[in-house]
Structure 1
């Protein structure tokens, strides 16, 4: 309990090191059903003290959520449609990079057949540091990670390469970890010791 409270305080007190940026924008990317919206719901539930549910929202739109809706936060999470294999399904590489670079307005509805461009309504031609994404989190279902197709793995590899070129921080987030290892199922703190997870 004490450790949890310390972590919550640390997140609540977080401030970007760049004085020109008031809030750090974190973009959650991953296949449909990996748990992006559920993760945001869990974070908001913890900090607001009540259960929230973002999983039912229309995920084809870009939406930014403060981790604590009760008061202004310096950490903002972004939920978008899932990444799928192929150029014409799910969130495309082109549109993903447009989000990261800060060109896409909040509420934009994505359509693989209509990529984001300068003619897009609300397109941000000259994004400031405040418009850009500061960290990308790859959300992956631990129970499915070994079953992703080569096409999906290639998509992730291309994403990581492009995001690295942009100098944006990247983090991996595994969901459903309690379902891949009996030791974790019995005690979630074993997540840091699990050899099964370390080998993923």
Structure 2
């Protein structure tokens, strides 16, 4: 049995990544026809796609992190609905810019649900950043999630068995991890481009 080529491994990895986006979060095909040379501005795609509700658009467009935390802590917004809105927005962004390396939406939504239940039962916030969705670059380790940092030779590696200290600190403060984002191969350039996930496109 011959060794699989890196192209085959990359193709399989990208198919697995695409499969993590639920069908109800997929945008119309005509909105995904972009390339490195198209010059297409996709900033309005989240609104044009019809995937996000008006409330979800407000959550993801009209509030900074401080404002979101205030609303979550006052229970004007739940951690679950904020996390769901950002998961959907990230899924849309992935379809037009190739910005994600790993998505773990179900895991994020379960954590948000658990945090909301703790707040409901105890009235206590799990940390000052309770309920805030946060993404990490692919170079940060998250237990149970793969990390290639753009190396095709890392594709076959098992999901990580440990979490980076910086990630753990933010987790302890109450954040919700939901995606990892693309990086330059080896983190040695300014442009997020590698042979595993391709080039992340400018949305403008």
- Of Structure 1 and Structure 2, which has the larger fraction of its residues in strand? 1
- Of Structure 1 and Structure 2, which has the larger fraction of its residues in helix? 2
TM over 0.5: no
Greater relative contact order (CA < 8 Å, ≥ 6 in sequence): 2
TM-score by length of 1: 0.28
TM-score by length of 2: 0.28
